[in-house]
A and B are shown apart, each in its own frame.
Chain A
Amino acid sequence: MKNNSLSKLSKILLITSGIGLIISIFVPLWAIYLEAPQYPEGLGMFLHANKITGDYEIINGLNHYIGMKEIHQEDFWEFKILPYALGFFAALAFLTVFLNNKKWLYFFAALFLIFGVAFMVDFYLWEYDYGHNLNPNAAIVVPGMSYQPPLFGFKQLLNFGAYSYPDIGGWIMFGVGIILVVLSYLEIKSSKKVI
């Protein structure tokens, strides 16, 4: 007989993941830091599920030199969707525990990974757009130069050093992704043993 119910560990970690995803709705997901000789204190910009916070207005002011578009919260459809998407995944985590079925875990894991990849691709495309789509009449035009911030890590852009890293919410999302992969692996392994 095939046992499709989840292990105790899986249930605990799924509930933890669900709570984590709810938290991630309310904390910054991603952080971009800029450093320059003129800004020894650094400039920070924080992407939440539903808004941008930090020094983005100052960054907008500086970006006019290179002709970069201004960053405005209302330009991003993602902010309208993301809180619900995260809420949906949290609900899915609890539902999986409630249904106590491995298939639901595999389904959840697959869907979340697709979501994670899509999230990063979308983020990259925005960065590409801001970094390349420049006003040709800007005060500073360096031929061949683009200003795409790094997806993950550090990059020097003229006098600015740019850092891009997940913030609390982003780390939670990474954590949930890893937990789901590991749990799926463990559950598949235990199913095989029973057979």
Chain B
Amino acid sequence: MKIIQLFGISAFASLAFLGSCKPKGTETAVSGDAAEKVYVAPGKYDEVYNFVSGGFNGQMNVYGLPSGRLLKVVPIFSVNPENGYGYSEETKPMLETSHGFIPWDDQHHLELSQTNGEQDGRWIFANANNTPRVARVNLKTFRTEEIIELPNSAGNHSSPFITENTEYVVAGTRFAVPTDDANGDVPINSFKENFKGVISFIGVNKETGDMNLSFQIEAPGVNFDLSHAGKGKSHGWFFFSCYNSEQANTLLEVNASQNDKDFIMAVNWKKAEEYLKAGKGRKVKTQYAHNKFDEKTQTATSKMEQEVTVLSAKELKDICYFMPTPKSPHGCDVDPTGEYIVGSGKLAALIPVHSFSKMLKAIENKEFSGEYDGIPILKYESTLYGEVQKPGLGPLHTEFDGKGNAYTSFFVSSEVVKWDIKTLKVLDRQPTFYSVGHLMVVGGDTKKPYGKYLVAYNKITKDRFLPTGPELTQSAQLYDISGDKMKLLLDFPTFGEPHYAQAVPASLIKDQQVKFYNIADNKHPYATKGEAESKVVRQGNKVHVYMTSIRSHFAPDNIEGIKVGDEVYFHVTNLEQDWDVPHGFAIKGNQNAELLIMPGETSTLKWVPKKSGMYPMYCTDFCSALHQEMQGYVRVSPAGSNVPLTYSLNNKADNAKSPVKTAVTK
């Protein structure tokens, strides 16, 4: 008996010993007061809004920090049956492109609008990586208001970074392709002759935020990866990292990694503006969709633009310069002063930091080491401020805290490294769990970072959360960076795949929220501004239902005389004039989606019944105590049937008056 006990104890002890031999995990990385720092008590607000790209889900996710609570998913490039985005007649045009209706995209980067290099809380811009587009989301309504497609491009990756007064949003092509006015039907191995890397400058209206493709710059056929605008002293310049200076078109993982150095391209966009004014651009005939949502009519329209002005970097010598940067640079980040440009070579074992003032001097003194497809290459030493030595493996992105520190993410060594911009000395390193891609400091790419929190967005989560089969969540990790050392506070799973993110103090956003739409301002052509105005109108095989919803009924709620072969349009107006009272609308057998209609708004659902029968419709948002009663029927008769088209709303009180009305036929 004793022997067995002894044996048991020693086995337990040896297990414990074995356990301690494993590498250290988070248990040691988290300090005692972490829970207190991320606890936001019920009823209290988070300190910061965190806008996180959705990656392959095509949407934008809004989290609160420091709690890591998901507040909202804003559909931008992907349809969202939950609220009808991309399904309602009003929002379908938002997803039109020159390739037709595209219901999804790959959303990588976000950028908040700025004034004087500081966040102003007005809009957030989003890129679509697959079918190149840039979107603008209004932060008063958290709705996508505008999407512009980018011609001459493929893979809009180095986007949607902005200049310090939101003069421009940029977009650079990740896949060099033949321009739209050239024949694209060429052998792929003619890359070097035919493929171009085009960069777009989208002008943003100061008052309305309306975008318009001001001009494009045609650069050599390389792959533009990431970018950031100059700020302060470097305002007027834009910096783009690129890889594949080898101009390979196959097995890029090897073939695009042959050169010791690729480039960061510096673009003097003020100069480009001068050339544009002087008429130096070439007009390229092309087609690109420009979609706008009008808040007054609550309807989006899609316009196909036909032309864009392209400036040639090769012909106009002094717009673009290449700064050699080691090993396929990815992140291209500019510090708050605008002086330092940090390139992160995905395969480099150091971080090069370029100096803006040295770059200007080098251009002035023509310290060129050669030309690349007609673009001057500056000497590496002439622009280099210095290199951070042995920072880690696989640097990707850098953000700043405004106190002279930089924070770089390392994918391969799975860590965040804090270093001093002036001395280039590593100050601290913390592991991430696991393989961080982007990282973000609150306001970390502006002139005045808010600092305090850093979030690492990780690609691999394996043992971090309860497992969910083969497909696992990706994650965000929150660090407190207010002290000398970074402190891990929290892990939270993310929605979609997070790439770049932005964050802003809540005070800049929360007090400007639209609570509902004033029904008096509703200019929707099918708005029904009161139950008395509700009606049904037949125009050939199209039936328009002018419907209202208010707690807790639709008007009309009974419709008869719909026939197979009819296209029914339910134009539902939510008559509520109060915050947080949306109504839903759904009907059986609908191949489309449902609607979620905000107070004062009109939304349209198209429904094409395929067979005769009885079709219930109801409200999908638990709107009130009598939400379950918010329902009705549509009777569908066979094609050619002579059931008259009628509609009604029977009040218990005036049942006897039989208010069944006959529909208008036009």
Contact = CB atoms under 8 A, between A and B. Distances in A.
Interface stretch (A1-9, A57-65, A82-90): A57-65
Nearest to A159: B625
Contact of A65 (B626, B651, B653): B626
B652 interface: yes
B550 A61 contact: yes
A64 B577 CA distance: 15
A139 B626 contact: yes
Contacts of B551: 61, 64-65
B653 A135 contact: yes
Interface in B524-568: 550-552
B576 interface: yes
Interface in A125-172: 135, 137, 139-140
Contacts of A61: 550-551, 576-578
Interface residues of A, number: 9
Contacts of A140: 625
A58 B577 contact: yes
Contacts of B552: 139
A132 B626 CA distance: 23
A71 to B, nearest CB: 15
Interface in A63-120: 64-65
Interface in A31-62: 57-58, 61
Nearest to A39: B578
Contacts of A64: 551
A174 B624 CA distance: 40
Q: Is the interface of A mostly helix, strand, loop or mixed?
A: loop
A58 B625 CA distance: 16
A170 to B, nearest CB: 27
A140 B629 CA distance: 13
Interface in B565-579: 576-578
Contact of A57 (B577, B629, B651): B577
Contacts, number: 21
Given A137-B651, A137-B652, A137-B653, A65 B625 contact: yes
A58 B551 CA distance: 11
A78 to B, nearest CB: 26
A61 B652 CA distance: 18
A147 to B, nearest CB: 16
Contacts of A65: 551, 624-626
A137 B652 CA distance: 7
A117 to B, nearest CB: 37
A118 to B, nearest CB: 35
Residue in B578, B651, B652, B653 with the greatest tally of chain A CB atoms within 10 Å: B578
Contacts of A135: 653
Contacts of B577: 57-58, 61
Contacts of B578: 58, 61
A64 B551 CA distance: 9
Nearest to A57: B577
A65 B577 CA distance: 16
A101 B652 CA distance: 64
A73 B506 CA distance: 39
A61 B629 CA distance: 17
Contacts of B550: 61
A139 B627 CA distance: 12
Contacts of B651: 137
Contacts of B652: 137
Nearest to B624: A65
A64 B550 CA distance: 11
A135 B551 CA distance: 17
Nearest to A62: B551
Nearest to B577: A57
A61 B552 CA distance: 10
A58 B576 CA distance: 8
A64 B652 CA distance: 14
Nearest to A41: B579
A54 B390 CA distance: 65
Nearest to B578: A58
A140 B626 CA distance: 10
Nearest to B655: A137
Contacts of B624: 65
A155 B293 CA distance: 47
Nearest to B581: A61
B81 to A, nearest CB: 27
A77 to B, nearest CB: 27
Interface in B199-239: none
A176 B551 CA distance: 44
Contacts of B626: 65, 139
Nearest to A67: B653
Nearest to B43: A40
B626 to A, nearest CB: 6
B388 to A, nearest CB: 51
Contacts of A137: 651-653
Interface in B635-666: 651-653
Interface in B262-287: none
Contacts of B653: 135, 137
A139 B96 CA distance: 45
Nearest to B651: A137
A156 B583 CA distance: 29
B659 to A, nearest CB: 15
Nearest to A64: B551
Nearest to B580: A38
A65 B626 CA distance: 9
Contacts of A58: 577-578
Nearest to A140: B625
A34 to B, nearest CB: 13
Interface in B608-649: 624-626, 629
Nearest to A58: B578
A65 B624 CA distance: 10
B41 to A, nearest CB: 15
A83 B577 CA distance: 30
A64 B572 CA distance: 21
A137 B650 CA distance: 12
A139 B630 CA distance: 12
A64 B624 CA distance: 12
Given A65-B624, A139-B626, 9 more contacts: A57-B577, A58-B577, A61-B550, A64-B551, A65-B625, A135-B653, A139-B552, A139-B629, A140-B625
14 contacts: A57-B577, A58-B578, A61-B551, A61-B577, A65-B551, A65-B624, A65-B625, A65-B626, A135-B653, A137-B651, A137-B652, A137-B653, A139-B552, A139-B629
Interface of A: 57-58, 61, 64-65, 135, 137, 139-140
- 7 shortest interchain CB distances as A-B pairs: A137-B652, A137-B653, A58-B578, A139-B626, A57-B577, A61-B551, A61-B578
